[in-house]
Structure 1
Amino acid sequence: MSVQWRKSTHSGGADDQHCVELGRLAPEAGIGFRDSKDPDGGHLVLSGGQFAGLIEKIKRGSAR
């Protein structure tokens, strides 16, 4: 299965140090996160529930 990676709308230009991409992995495999400047460097995987929890923390400003 080929993953369709999507770059964050908050990722900036060439000088931006915080570029991230998301991709839905195989069904039930979770959501992948990777550095868009190093796409071959591997990725972090979160389950659907973990991803939803992360988004809620980001919205509340408590993702630290």
Structure 2
Amino acid sequence: MKNRDIVTEFKKASASQGGTQDCVEVAHTADGGRAIRDSKNPGAMQFCTPTGWAAFLDGVKAGEFGD
């Protein structure tokens, strides 16, 4: 069974800290996955399993999402 309890604070990318720009925030979940939300709509969240999050990061590192 997945445990989607959020166990850390949501964090923004370091590039957006201190600015007025809206951004994506990420927190760890109890099952090792991640909770993702938009800073301007923090009540709506998307959850990734640990495997899904790892695949997403691999795709980012490989440049699979364009510019």
Give the TM-score category using the shorter length.
0.7 to 0.9
Unaligned runs of 5+ in 1: none
| Count of residue pairs the alignment pairs up | 60
Q: Which protein is richer in strand relative to its size?
A: 2
Quick one: distance in 2 between partners of 1:31 and 1:23? Answer: 6
Report 1 or 2 for greater relative contact order, CA contacts < 8 Å, sequence distance ≥ 6: 2
Tell me the TM-score normalized by structure 2.
0.70
Tell me the TM-score normalized by structure 1.
0.73
Quick one: distance in 2 between partners of 1:58 and 1:32? Answer: 17
Unaligned runs of 5+ in 2: none
Residues 2, 46 of structure 1: alpha-carbon distance in 2 compared, 3 angstrom cutoff: closer
Q: How high is the sequence identity, in percent, across the aligned residues?
A: 27
